[in-house]
Structure 1
Amino acid sequence: MSTEKTPYAADLAPSEPSGSRGASPAAYGTASGDTFPRLLAGLAAQRPNDTALQEKRYGIWQPLTWAQYNKRVRDFAHGLAALGVERGQIVAVLGDNRPEWLIAELAAQSLGASVVGVYPTSIGEELHHILTHSRARVVIAEDQEQVDKLIRLRSEAADLPMETVVYYDPHGLEAYTDEFLTDFTAVEAQGREWGDEHPGWLDEQIASGRPEDVAVICTTSGTTSRPKLAELSHANLLAMAEHLTTIDPIGARDRYVSFLPFAWIGEQMLAVACGLSRGLTLSFPEDSATQKTDLREIGPNVMFSPPRIWESMLSEVQVRIDEAGWLKRKVFGWGYAIGDRVAEQRIHGKAKAIDPLYWLADQVALRPVRDQLGLARIDHAYTGGAPLGPDVFRFFHAIGVNLKQIYGQTEICGIAVVHRDDDIAFASVGTPIPGTEIRITDEGEILLRSASVFRGYHRNPEATAEAVDADGWLHTGDAGFLDEQGHLVVIDRAKDVLTTSDGTRFSSAFIENKLKFSPYVEEAVTFPTDHGMTAMITIDPMTTGSWAEHERLSYTTYTDLAGKQEVRDLIAEEVLRANEDLPESIRIKRFVLLHKQFDPDDDEITRTRKVRRNVIAERYADIINGLAGGSDDVTIRSLVTYQDGSQVERNLVLKIVDMSTFRAPEGRGRRPVWSGRR
Structure 2
Amino acid sequence: MVQTYIKAEEKGVDIGQNTLPGLLLRNAEKFGDSQVALREKEFGIWQDVTWRGYLSHVKYFALGLKSLGFCDDDSLAIIGDNRPEWVYAELAAQALKGMPLGIYQDSILTEVAYVIDHSDASFVVAEDQEQTDKVLDMKDELPKVRKVIYTDPKGMRAYDDPLLIYFPDVEELGREYEKEHPGAFEESVNRLTPADVALIAYTSGTTGKPKGSVLTHSNMLKMALNLSEVDPKLQGDEFVSFLPLPWIGEQMMSISSALAIGFTVNFPEEPETAMTDLYEIGPNVVFSPPRVWEQLSRTVMVKHLDASAFKRFIYRLCMPIGYQMADFHFERKEPSLGWKILYGMSYLLLFRALKDRLGFSNIRSASTGGAALGPDVFRFFHACGVNLKQIYGQTEISGISCIHRADEVDFTSVGAPIPETEVKIADPDPEGVGEIISKSPALFEGYLKNDKATEETILDGWLYSGDAGYVTENKQLVCIDRIKDLMKLTSGARFSPMFIENKLKFCPYVVECCVLGHDRNYVTAMICIDYNHTGKWAEEHRVGYTTYTDLASKSEVYELIEKEVVRVNRFLPEAARLAKFVLLYKEFDPDDGELTRTRKLRRRFIAERYASEIEALYEDTDQVHVESEIQYQDGKTTTIITDLHIRQMKPLEEYELEAERKWWQFWKPVH
How high is the TM-score relative to the length of structure 1? 0.93
- In structure 2, the partner of 1:23 is none
- 1:65 has 2:45 as partner: no
Q: Residue 629 of structure 1 aligns to a residue in which SS?
A: coil
The offset of 1:614, in angstroms, is 1.1
- In structure 2, the partner of 1:189 is 172
Does 395-404 or 627-636 show the bigger shift? 627-636
- In structure 2, the partner of 1:503 is 492
- 1:434 has 2:413 as partner: no
Q: Residue 357 of structure 2 aligns to a residue in which SS?
A: helix
The offset of 1:599, in angstroms, is 0.9
- In structure 1, the partner of 2:372 is 387
The offset of 1:527, in angstroms, is 1.5
Mapped to 2, the partners of 1:647 and 1:136 lie a distance apart of: 30
- In structure 1, the partner of 2:666 is none
- In structure 2, the partner of 1:154 is 139
- In structure 2, the partner of 1:214 is 197
Q: Decide whether aligned partners of structure 1 residues 297 and 579 sit closer, same or farther in structure 2, where only a CA change above 3 A counts.
A: same
| One-letter amino acid matched to 1:409 | Q
Mapped to 1, the partners of 2:56 and 2:661 lie a distance apart of: 56
The offset of 1:454, in angstroms, is 0.6
- In structure 2, the partner of 1:19 is none
- In structure 2, the partner of 1:40 is 24
Does 185-194 or 580-589 show the bigger shift? 580-589
| 1:591-602 → structure 2 map (5 Å cutoff) | 591-602=581-592
- 1:657 has 2:642 as partner: no
Q: Residue 239 of structure 2 aligns to a residue in which SS?
A: strand
- In structure 2, the partner of 1:368 is 353
Mapped to 2, the partners of 1:77 and 1:617 lie a distance apart of: 46
The offset of 1:282, in angstroms, is 0.5
Q: Deviations over 1:609-630 (max 9, x none)?
A: 0011111111111111111122
| One-letter amino acid matched to 1:48 | G
- 1:419 has 2:404 as partner: yes
| One-letter amino acid matched to 1:338 | I
Mapped to 2, the partners of 1:84 and 1:438 lie a distance apart of: 44
| 1:89-238 → structure 2 map (5 Å cutoff) | 89-155=74-140, 157=141, 159-238=142-221
- In structure 2, the partner of 1:9 is 7
- In structure 2, the partner of 1:24 is none
| One-letter amino acid matched to 1:523 | E
Is the Cα contact below 8 Å between 2:108 and 2:634 reproduced in 1?
no
The offset of 1:505, in angstroms, is 2.3
- In structure 2, the partner of 1:345 is 328
Is the Cα contact below 8 Å between 1:143 and 1:170 reproduced in 2?
yes
Is the Cα contact below 8 Å between 1:432 and 1:438 reproduced in 2?
yes
Mapped to 2, the partners of 1:230 and 1:474 lie a distance apart of: 13
- In structure 2, the partner of 1:247 is 230
| One-letter amino acid matched to 1:11 | E
Q: Decide whether aligned partners of structure 1 residues 97 and 672 sit closer, same or farther in structure 2, where only a CA change above 3 A counts.
A: farther
The offset of 1:574, in angstroms, is 0.8
| One-letter amino acid matched to 1:81 | K
Is the Cα contact below 8 Å between 2:627 and 2:642 reproduced in 1?
yes
Is the Cα contact below 8 Å between 2:74 and 2:98 reproduced in 1?
yes
Is the Cα contact below 8 Å between 1:600 and 1:606 reproduced in 2?
yes
Mapped to 2, the partners of 1:453 and 1:109 lie a distance apart of: 19
Q: Residue 382 of structure 1 aligns to a residue in which SS?
A: strand
Q: Decide whether aligned partners of structure 1 residues 51 and 178 sit closer, same or farther in structure 2, where only a CA change above 3 A counts.
A: same
Is the Cα contact below 8 Å between 1:446 and 1:475 reproduced in 2?
yes
The offset of 1:645, in angstroms, is 11
Is the Cα contact below 8 Å between 2:438 and 2:464 reproduced in 1?
yes
| 1:658-677 → structure 2 map (5 Å cutoff) | 658-660=648-650, 666=656
Is the Cα contact below 8 Å between 1:96 and 1:120 reproduced in 2?
yes
The offset of 1:337, in angstroms, is 2.7
Mapped to 2, the partners of 1:226 and 1:276 lie a distance apart of: 31
The offset of 1:534, in angstroms, is 1.2
Q: Residue 230 of structure 1 aligns to a residue in which SS?
A: strand
Q: Decide whether aligned partners of structure 1 residues 179 and 330 sit closer, same or farther in structure 2, where only a CA change above 3 A counts.
A: same
The offset of 1:5, in angstroms, is 0.9
- 1:521 has 2:519 as partner: no
Mapped to 2, the partners of 1:35 and 1:648 lie a distance apart of: 49
Is the Cα contact below 8 Å between 1:347 and 1:422 reproduced in 2?
no
| 1:297-316 → structure 2 map (5 Å cutoff) | 297-316=280-299
- In structure 1, the partner of 2:479 is 490
- In structure 2, the partner of 1:25 is none
Q: Decide whether aligned partners of structure 1 residues 647 and 419 sit closer, same or farther in structure 2, where only a CA change above 3 A counts.
A: closer
Among 616, 627, 630, the residue aligned to 2:617: 627
The offset of 1:31, in angstroms, is 4.3
- In structure 1, the partner of 2:386 is 401
Q: Deviations over 1:435-489 (max 9, x none)?
A: 110000124000000101111111111111111112x100001110011211111
Is the Cα contact below 8 Å between 1:128 and 1:160 reproduced in 2?
no
The offset of 1:347, in angstroms, is 4.7
User: How large is the Cα RMSD of the aligned pairs?
Assistant: 2.3
Does 572-581 or 334-343 show the bigger shift? 334-343
The offset of 1:270, in angstroms, is 1.2
Q: Deviations over 1:318-353 (max 9, x none)?
A: 111111122212212232233233333345555569
Is the Cα contact below 8 Å between 2:570 and 2:652 reproduced in 1?
no
Is the Cα contact below 8 Å between 1:254 and 1:302 reproduced in 2?
yes
Mapped to 2, the partners of 1:672 and 1:265 lie a distance apart of: 42
Q: Deviations over 1:338-395 (max 9, x none)?
A: 3233333345555569844433321221011111111111100111111111010110
Q: Deviations over 1:612-651 (max 9, x none)?
A: 1111111111111111122111001134799999976453
| 1:472-491 → structure 2 map (5 Å cutoff) | 472-491=461-480
The offset of 1:90, in angstroms, is 1.1
Q: Deviations over 1:83-115 (max 9, x none)?
A: 111111210001000000000011111111121
Q: Deviations over 1:569-600 (max 9, x none)?
A: 11111111111111111111111110011110
- In structure 2, the partner of 1:285 is 268
Q: Residue 513 of structure 2 aligns to a residue in which SS?
A: strand
Is the Cα contact below 8 Å between 1:220 and 1:227 reproduced in 2?
yes
Count of paired positions: 654
Q: Decide whether aligned partners of structure 1 residues 336 and 437 sit closer, same or farther in structure 2, where only a CA change above 3 A counts.
A: same
- In structure 2, the partner of 1:549 is 539
Q: Residue 478 of structure 1 aligns to a residue in which SS?
A: strand
Mapped to 1, the partners of 2:362 and 2:311 lie a distance apart of: 23
Q: Residue 2 of structure 2 aligns to a residue in which SS?
A: coil
Mapped to 2, the partners of 1:130 and 1:650 lie a distance apart of: 31
Is the Cα contact below 8 Å between 1:32 and 1:239 reproduced in 2?
no
| One-letter amino acid matched to 1:477 | G
Q: Decide whether aligned partners of structure 1 residues 193 and 261 sit closer, same or farther in structure 2, where only a CA change above 3 A counts.
A: same
Q: Residue 614 of structure 1 aligns to a residue in which SS?
A: helix
